[in-house]
Structure 1
Amino acid sequence: MKSWRRSRPFWGGLFIVAAGLELLSIPLALDALPVTLMFGTIGAGYLIALVMIIAGVLVWLQPGQRVFLGVIAILLAMASFVYSNLGGFLVGMILGLLGGMLAVAWTSDNRPANRIDTISVVSALRAAREIASRVQVPRWATAAALGRHCRRLVPARRAWAETDTPPAQASSLAKLKEPTG
């Protein structure tokens, strides 16, 4: 259920449906259906409420149309101020505006988990450790290459650096040993 909610503008659709239900509940509570046939504005209130409920459900079912449906919900919420008892005593109008804005502003979270903006210190150290384990260079040679004596390496020393055992008469760099464990 949580993955379904995250894959669509759930809260925007919920607020739009709640706004439509609130706008629909006030005329139904007043038993205004016979009056609806006589006056057009009450019929417009019913129409606005029903279209908002449909738009809220469609926001859930068709997230690709969220911008269009959100704009429709915003326009209907503003029209409900005139046609439906000041927008359902402002509650329905505010719910509709909030739901429409949430639906328009929603973006899907389909980023891969290993993007550069989601890297933590722990994952960076883990990746560095994995890369170091794949490289087959002795640690003393790595220290020699990165140390202050980097400029002094000559081709003869490079040849023994590839062999994993330093010669006996090597400089102090050769005394660096790989830690055990």
Structure 2
Amino acid sequence: RRRWINSTIHNLLELLLVRDLCGTFCCSMHFLVLMDLLGNVILPSSVVFCYYLIVARCFGEPVALPLLLMALTFVLQGAMILVTTQRIGYIYWMLIYILAIPVWNLLMPLYAFWRFDDFSWGRTRPSDPALSKAAFITDDERLALEPIPLKRWRDWVRGNPAGLPPQPQS
């Protein structure tokens, strides 16, 4: 989970620097990448805010409308599940998902951010086979990068004005 979060945020930040992404304004990949990045960063605070609304309502604060809208979104999702699948079992899985939201969207990301540089846990694949006891990829299995054409998007479009994929040479 730590590697997933770190690489997700790192990759999204790197994608923001790429100039050759397609689209314009709100339909651009830059905009979508930025929204995805903001969603990943803001998600833990939104769970905290939901808990704040629930606790504030318990103490008599007038926060019924935001809670009602939040509940309405879950009810509408449940209605869509029933309409499209007509299986009540999926509603139970949705309830399990709702109960797991704090774990996956608050506790795990916060733990991963807190232990950002702690490599003592989660070591799944060693990068240097000489340092590990077992090599996962042999030299025969390595990916040959030479046959992969490396082109910028605009260069590929210039070479293929019709937008057709290149035909294999036989």
Length-normalised TM-score, structure 2: 0.24
Structure showing the higher helix proportion among its residues: 1
Question: Which of the two has higher C-alpha Rg?
Answer: 1
Please give the TM-score of this superposition, normalised by the length of structure 1. 0.23
